[in-house]
A = this chain, B = another copy of it.
Amino acid sequence: MQAEGLEQQTGALTLALSAKDVSTFLSALENTHPADIADWFVNLENEDKLTALSYFDRDWAAQLIEYVTGQDVEDMFRFYDEETQRAILQRLQDDDRVDVLQDIEPGFRATLIALLPAAERGTTETLLEFPEETAGGRMTTSFASVKENRTVRQAVKNLRRLHHDSETLSRIFVTNEQNQLIGEVRLRDLAFARRSTLISEIVEPNVPSIDAHADQEEAARMIARYDVLALPVVDDKGRILGIITHDDAIEILEEESTEDIEKAAGISGEQSEDSYLNTSVATHFKRRVLWVLGLAFAGLLSGYVLLSFEGVLGSTFLLALYMPMIVAAGGNTGGQAATMVIRALSLGELKPGSLVAVMAKELSVGILVGGVIATAIMAEIFIFQPDAMEGTQISLSLFAVVVGCSLLLQVATSTLIGATLPLAAKSMKLDPAVIASPAITTIVDVSGLFIYFTFARLFLGI
């Protein structure tokens, strides 16, 4: 089943749906992965969605709902009767169930939870108490564990009984009598060890674990870093509460990357659970307008700087030719520096303590980049504008020096500003990604105008 076959499969679904041919529809489902069905489903017209829902049996609905997000989750549940709602909820793993319920408005969510048998209801409610962004809010409670003072024989017997409940058996966590995590054993080790061996004799200590209240991103980074299939989640006493699995780690890291990318562009608020096209214009609008509006007023500052240099600009209007470029060069290099530093912080390569090292590096880079651009633009002036200063008191060389020095200083300071602000945010316990590139651009727009016209006034005597 490679990508090429995918369009054929969803095409068959569409045909069967419009022909209202249930049996062809169900057999087309058999050949398609639930993730692909979900993708096809969420892009249907509303009427077709309802028809499709009426064709799915409970098994399909449960499989599908794991891959559907946002409003579609709630719509699906509302379509089915109570019996089916319960069946769908029970068929889900507990972390997937919590994931799904988090997409549903609180009142209806409570109604759905009440349908569950007591044990599953309790687990679900406990998991829902952890904030969505924490390790606890992302974990599953179905994992394999054994006590250290059991023998291999007892452990195997217990695990066999729990077998079908465990999302992964490849790692089995070992706890002491207080249920504190002390290490792990592998299924393979159990298989090869003598049956009378104590678990404590074959346990591997030093298993990475994470506090339930830690940020989910930290959990995902640990899974990536230590190449583990599952990371145990513990409470403040070190007792194991659950595990976060590798597929959650991928999802979390993708969400965090999207968040960083959006913040860098000045897009505020939480990313929509829905895809780009399924997100409403109103939501898109709300997430974008704030920064743009704020920066528009901040941009007036540049305007005032410009107004204050009316005399300078008026006397040598050729300065206007290089003005947009000098200003923009600062925004571009500042944005680059901020991007590098924010990503390095996000990947854990930098700490706020690295400030001096970062500043030294960025100042060098800024001077090099600024030097190259200044040289290139000064050459442009001598080659393409040889007569620019004719009829004035100003020599062409002096004019070129003003443009060149401004570029160098603007690029060097902008690079420094771009690199420093995210580190400053981090050391104030803020997310460094709040330093959006447009904000840096707005700041260095002001400094660029100021540098340029001040140099012009000083060097050109205007």
Contact = CB atoms under 8 A, between A and B. Distances in A.
A218 B3 contact: yes
A35 B348 CA distance: 13
A23 interface: no
A90 B36 CA distance: 40
Interface stretch (A107-115, A123-131, A146-154, A287-295): A287-295
B306 A323 contact: yes
B373 A296 contact: yes
Contact of A373 (B261, B293, B300): B293
Contacts of A377: 296
Interface residues of A, number: 115
Contacts of A170: 168-170
A371 B363 CA distance: 40
Interface string A323-356: 1110111011101101111011001011000100
B306 A324 contact: yes
Nearest to A34: B226
Interface of A: 1-3, 30-33, 35, 163, 168-170, 188, 206-211, 214, 218, 222-227, 229, 234, 246-247, 249-251, 253-254, 257-258, 260-262, 264-267, 275-277, 281, 284-285, 288-289, 291-293, 295-297, 299-300, 302-304, 306-307, 310, 313-314, 317-318, 320-325, 327-329, 331-333, 335-336, 338-341, 343-344, 347, 349-350, 354, 357-358, 361, 364-365, 368-369, 372-373, 376-377, 380, 407, 411, 437-438, 441-442, 445, 449
- Which 4 pairs, one residue from A and one from B, show the smallest C-beta to C-beta distance? A299-B325, A302-B324, A276-B344, A265-B339
Given A170-B170, A297-B376, A328-B441, 20 more contacts: A3-B218, A32-B206, A163-B188, A265-B340, A267-B340, A276-B340, A276-B343, A277-B349, A277-B350, A281-B361, A285-B365, A288-B333, A296-B328, A296-B376, A296-B407, A299-B324, A300-B325, A302-B324, A303-B323, A303-B325
